Structure 1
Amino acid sequence: MAIDFSISSITFSDGTRVTTPRKGVTVIVGPNNSGKTASLKDLVANIDHETAKKQSRVLKDVAFDAVGEFDDFRQWMAKFSHEEPGGREVTYRRMGHQVHPAMAEAAWLNSGSGYMGALKDFLTMYADVDQRAHLFGPQGITGDIWDMTPNTPIHYLYLDGDLEEEFSRICELTFGQPLTLQRLGAQFLVRVGVPSADVPPLNRPTKGYAEAEKALPPLQEQGHGMRSYMALALLLLVQSYHVVLIDEPEAFLHPPQRRELGRLMGELASRRESQLFVSTHDTEFLWGLLDGPSDVSVVRLTRDGKINHAKEIGAEEAKTLWTDPLLRYSRVFDGLFYDRVVVAESDADCRFFAAVLDYLVESDSFGRPDVLFVPAGGKDRMHVAVSALRRVGVDAVAAADFDMLRDEQSLRRLVLSVGGDWDSSAALRKRFADAISSKKMAKPISGLRAHLDTLIPSDAVNLDRAMSKAVTELFAFRDGWDEAKRAGLGSVPSGDAYQSCRLLLDELSKVGLFISPFGELESFVRDEGGHGPKWVSAVLAKGSHKQAREAHDFVRMLVLG
């Protein structure tokens, strides 16, 4: 029977206990300084020994399962580590780590204590950015390479031509260049490209081929992105660790490469049946993992002083969220890495609010908050984005125009998405909505006829697009909500209706739904004509947003309220 080792749960400093999938991926996300990298280090420390565990900052406890008889453990050590003579007894070595047999055996037999001691480096692999950066340096050939268990990832390539071919193919698919393992000489070295000379028989090496190998540029001298990507590919391709921990795999990579790396890592971890823990700052990488074959659980961290709060999204729920077209093909889940997300109706709203925020920060109104503005693609989709973000532990709020109050169903969905009391909101809305609807915007027929004559002066003119639009606008029926869209709270009839509307806006802002009391977006700068993106472009080009005091107050509420 083979041995097995896996992390069954991790408990964060706030007391949240997260059950981790045995054969799957646990991704740790969150804003800067929330504890993502520290959680990986703490995971290793918690299974090392008691002193190391006491120094953990993010994790309070890590539970693991170590399964297998003592004889099974001995067989596993003999297969996956190299026995190296040293003094009176041999030493087990594996990928740069060593342990005396007696210590390894004692650690396995005492695994019920909750610690694995020195054996942790034989069961788990932690690949941080620094380790990956130096993986492809020259490595000397010592001893009988065919009789020893590989002690470096490149050693595995040397012993397995099929593995080397797959490794080269990964590089060619991602970076457009194959790889060659230099086999002639006293050192292993991975080079970029294919030698220009024919490959000679193993027992008939040629100087021409050796020189052609050396003419290829070493992988170690390539850019950080290529080296980091291929280092991760190699580690996951050759490793046989039960638990693999990787910090910031997306470092130095462009977005398409980040997504492809996520997919590749999920595929290789699944093939090796390894349990993978990853900390990341990147949505593209996360998409790639979720597109792969592995079950992916997501843990989002936030930090409050010395306490790290965790919110778990299970594998099934993560798949559901990430397959929603609105969420998948938008920047909504970039919000996983921010302290707050403001969900607005459109991209134009986001551009305007972001510009106002930049001005407020530059004018020293306050320090720059860690906030992201994301468009929902219409008021009827805002609740989807807000609900999804709140389900994954993001502080998501909504920013809507005043006419959000007109559509009762859209308003209801949005109120519920922020956790508001719909019954209370509906009662307040009824007290002013009817008063607004009953306001008729009278258009005397005589005035319409006179205006129509100016638009169509004679039967001889041809109807064009501009004329058609003007005639349509002339005969459009308007009620009080059309005025409210432009004027906001100021258009609500005075008395109980006005007071009820103001009270509703205040109550909704307390739960994270901010409805502009000034009307639509364009009401913030009334001197500028146009609508939507064109209006925003014109306002920003002239710098009019810098004088829009009402917009300043509204954005302050969005990011600080």
Structure 2
Amino acid sequence: MLTHIELQAGTSPGKPALKIALAPVTVFVGPNNSGKSRALIEIEKFISTAQSSEGEVIKKIDFLAWERSKFEEELKKFLVRPVSGEMVNADNILVGKLNPQDGSAVRMQLNREALLSDATSPNSRPRYHYAGYLSLFTLRLDGRSRLSLIDDKPAGDLLSEAPNHLAKLFVDETARLSVRRIVKEAFGKYLVVDPTNIGFLRLRLSSRAPEDNREEQGWDDRSRKFHSEATPLSGASDGVKAFVGMLTTLIAGEPYITLIDEPEAFLHPTLSSRLGKEVTNALTGTNKRLFVATHSSNFLMGCVQGGAAINIVRVTYDGHTSTARLLSQERLLPLMRNPLLRSIGVLDALFYNAVIVAEADADRAFYQEINERLLQAGDPRGIEGCLFLNAQNKQTVWDIVHPLRELGIPAAGIVDIDVLKEGGRSGPSL
């Protein structure tokens, strides 16, 4: 659906704007107030607005042009019939779906030929009909809205296209077993889809897997007993609900484009890492696109460990100028695999304005306290948004500073004067 995204900023002031070919997952990282969340808002606006204009962070998005016959086939899955008294123009069609958050019906009337023309030439503007169509399949989630993803949903007509992600899970055994495996590994419980509230589907957590599909999907005594012994997911913690909701929507839902602000909200660090890994794997080889703004190095680490191609974009803003830099997985992997760098949390540096590396933890605490007092006193020598790390010894200071500088993160090392005994250097240019 989307092929390229161009940001307003480049790697430094005056450099060309960053333009990247999109992978299934694009993760925005950076310090607070750097434009991560703003990027998601502008991406959504660009997709769903006919006359979209440049934003503060996002300059342009390129769309993939559909082949007419393939788009006609895709469109058939979302055509709906008019209700009693509803007037549909002769040249128009009704396209609809259910809102995955509250289960409400969303539908719009579009001119068929104009929609086909827009879809085959999506980068021409205005694209009134294609923007309306894409808005149906674009989902943006914030800290609270993701919790409603696990609410009961209408089952719909199970002989036709599944109207929501729970219905898709119910009829698609491959998707259901995939989600069940992940949930079992994360929480030690089996996720099951309960149809016994006739006309609606609900999620439960069971202490055992169903013996067969009929036990899970039937209405007989055996099925009712099985589901009555399982716990409703609605009664679980916010972390469990958020994890399962995002996972089921991305694996079984129909949004072409999903935007999630801080997916780590409500999640323990280990769950954040698992979520990053699983959603990256789930979107591999699909035409779906996921855009994420995160402050979590654990979620980012999970995405990188997923093995699929992802884009990691670091954005910064100092109140005057902005930067945007694409961070390659090849440069991040050594930081993750190095035991020293992993143990001191070096990936957290991606979310700070600058990094200071000291030799020992006592040194780190000392210099960090000095910086805090300077900031409290309003002294301009204080560094706002600075991360202090300890390298454990002077020989490894450069091992931390060097890769951070290669990623475009301002980094400096502070070493004891005895470094002069070794020629005054502990790295190539420290």
TM-score w.r.t. the length of structure 2 is 0.83
68, 71, 74: which one aligns with 1:70: 68
- Determine the C-alpha separation between the residues in 2 that align with 1:390 and 1:198: 55
* Counterpart contact for 1:23–1:273, Cα < 8 Å: no
Helix, strand or coil at the partner of 2:53:
helix
Cα gap change, 1:51 to 1:202, in 2 (>3 Å): closer
Helix, strand or coil at the partner of 1:372:
strand
How far did 1:110 drift? 4.2
Helix, strand or coil at the partner of 2:301:
helix
Cα gap change, 1:205 to 1:348, in 2 (>3 Å): same
- Determine the C-alpha separation between the residues in 2 that align with 1:177 and 1:377: 41
97, 108, 115: which one aligns with 1:99: 108
* Counterpart contact for 1:23–1:274, Cα < 8 Å: no
In structure 2, the residue matched to 1:474 is: none
Cα gap change, 1:282 to 1:266, in 2 (>3 Å): same
The one-letter code of the counterpart of 2:73 is Q
In structure 2, the residue matched to 1:454 is: none
How far did 1:410 drift? 2.6
In structure 1, the residue matched to 2:103 is: none
How far did 1:105 drift? 2.8
The one-letter code of the counterpart of 2:107 is Q
Helix, strand or coil at the partner of 1:246:
strand
Structure showing greater radius of gyration is 1
Helix, strand or coil at the partner of 2:150:
coil
Deviations 1:250-282 (A, max 9, x none): 111111111111111111111535343221101
The one-letter code of the counterpart of 2:189 is Q
Bigger CA drift: 399-408 or 192-201?
192-201
- Determine the C-alpha separation between the residues in 1 that align with 2:241 and 2:427: 51
* Counterpart contact for 1:21–1:295, Cα < 8 Å: no
* Counterpart contact for 2:164–2:253, Cα < 8 Å: no
Cα gap change, 1:341 to 1:189, in 2 (>3 Å): same
Helix, strand or coil at the partner of 2:162:
coil
Instruction: Report whether the alignment pairs 1:290 with 2:304.
Output: yes
Instruction: Report whether the alignment pairs 1:346 with 2:340.
Output: no
Instruction: Map 1:363-382; keep pairs closer than 5 Å.
Output: 369-382=384-397
In structure 1, the residue matched to 2:56 is: 57
* Counterpart contact for 1:21–1:275, Cα < 8 Å: no
Cα gap change, 1:210 to 1:306, in 2 (>3 Å): farther
How far did 1:95 drift? 4.2
How far did 1:29 drift? 0.3
201, 217, 229: which one aligns with 1:188: 201
Instruction: Map 1:80-229; keep pairs closer than 5 Å.
Output: 81-86=78-83, 87-89=86-88, 90-96=93-99, 97-102=106-111, 104-113=115-124, 116-122=130-136, 124-142=138-156, 144-147=157-160, 149-186=161-198, 187-194=200-207, 205-207=219-221, 209-210=223-224, 212-214=226-228, 216-229=230-243
Cα gap change, 1:228 to 1:318, in 2 (>3 Å): same
* Counterpart contact for 1:13–1:57, Cα < 8 Å: no
Give me the CA root mean square deviation: 3.1
Helix, strand or coil at the partner of 1:301:
strand
Instruction: Report whether the alignment pairs 1:7 with 2:22.
Output: no
Percent of aligned positions with the same letter in both sequences?
Answer: 24
Instruction: Map 1:301-380; keep pairs closer than 5 Å.
Output: 301-305=315-319, 307-358=321-372, 369-380=384-395
* Counterpart contact for 2:47–2:134, Cα < 8 Å: yes
How far did 1:393 drift? 2.4
- Determine the C-alpha separation between the residues in 1 that align with 2:185 and 2:323: 39
Helix, strand or coil at the partner of 1:134:
helix
Deviations 1:434-454 (A, max 9, x none): xxxxxxxxxxxxxxxxxxxxx
In structure 2, the residue matched to 1:512 is: none
Q: Is the helix fraction higher in 1 or 2?
A: 1
The one-letter code of the counterpart of 1:40 is L
Structure 1: any 5+ residue segments left out of the alignment? 416-561
Larger RCO, structure (CA 8 Å, separation 6 or more)? 2
- Determine the C-alpha separation between the residues in 1 that align with 2:216 and 2:299: 41
**Number of residue pairs the alignment of both structures matches:** 406
How far did 1:196 drift? 11
394, 409, 418: which one aligns with 1:394: 409
Instruction: Report whether the alignment pairs 1:29 with 2:42.
Output: no
Instruction: Report whether the alignment pairs 1:385 with 2:416.
Output: no
In structure 1, the residue matched to 2:38 is: 38
- Determine the C-alpha separation between the residues in 2 that align with 1:164 and 1:82: 25
In structure 2, the residue matched to 1:437 is: none
* Counterpart contact for 2:215–2:226, Cα < 8 Å: no
Structure 2: any 5+ residue segments left out of the alignment? 100-105
Helix, strand or coil at the partner of 2:7:
strand
- Determine the C-alpha separation between the residues in 2 that align with 1:68 and 1:353: 57
How far did 1:190 drift? 0.5
* Counterpart contact for 1:126–1:244, Cα < 8 Å: yes
